[in-house]
Chains A and B, each alone.
Chain A
Amino acid sequence: GQSLEQPSEVTAVEGAIVQINCTYQTSGFYGLSWYQQHDGGAPTFLSYNGLDGLEETGRFSSFLSRSDSYGYLLLQELQMKDSASYFCAVRDILTGGGNKLTFGTGTQLKVEL
């Protein structure tokens, strides 16, 4: 099966940079995704890495190292509205047709003034 580990909670101040790490174990890795979920809201897609390296989307960047089974989400110029839970998710091509995402337990980010 798959397993993912990410910190349960991270606190940072407005305007700072924060990195949320994710390590995973899976047999048929086929991509790492990141989702954001505000309290009471639906998870929304942020970023995807299928290959090693950095992907940048505005203030958010995501990095993947397949050899280390590791990725991170980098949030720059933090804003209060970034306070939310962030989930990494892996797709395993060898499990059940390779069409489901397995989510981590999430990292709750608190942005303070």
Chain B
Amino acid sequence: DTGVSQNPRHKITKRGQNVTFRCDPISEHNRLYWYRQTLGQGPEFLTYFQNEAQLEKSRLLSDRFSAERPKGSFSTLEIQRTEQGDSAMYLCASSLADRDRGLFGANVLTFGAGSRLTVL
């Protein structure tokens, strides 16, 4: 297994355009998370999936943001009508559920290298 894979690694777009990021988690992990990170800050939670079900969304996730995880494998994060404030690193992470690894399960996230978005 090659870990969590994200693409594209970098995306530069003009304000108002739509962008989509893809995340391929570790194959045996059933939980998948999206976080956003800006310079000098910690990762901010956006949403997470258990298998194909989206179980929680942050209020940071406006209606311009949508995430999917069809078939419980890869996930996509789409941002519509991008704004300059959307410029950030978008991190995907995956984990096992607690029952699969005791209490460590959902505390141990494996992150991808991220997709850096720049909105001009």
Contacts and interface: CB of A to CB of B under 8 A. Distances in A.
B56 A31 contact: no
A97 B107 contact: no
A51 B48 CA distance: 25
A100 B41 CA distance: 17
Contacts of B113: 41-42
Interface of B: 4, 31, 33, 35, 40-45, 48, 50, 55-56, 91, 103-104, 106-114
Contacts of A33: 107-108
B107 A31 contact: yes
Which of B55, B91, B107 gathers most chain A CB within 10 Å? B107
B42 A87 contact: yes
Given A42-B113, A43-B43, A105-B40, A100 B48 contact: yes
B109 A99 contact: no
Contacts of A96: 55-56
A73 to B, nearest CB: 14
Nearest to A96: B56
A50 B111 contact: no
Interface centre among A31, A42, A48, A104 (most CB of B within 10 A): A42
Interface string A26-61: 000001010100000111110010100000000000
Given A31-B107, A41-B113, A91-B107, A97 B42 contact: no
A65 interface: no
B96 to A, nearest CB: 11
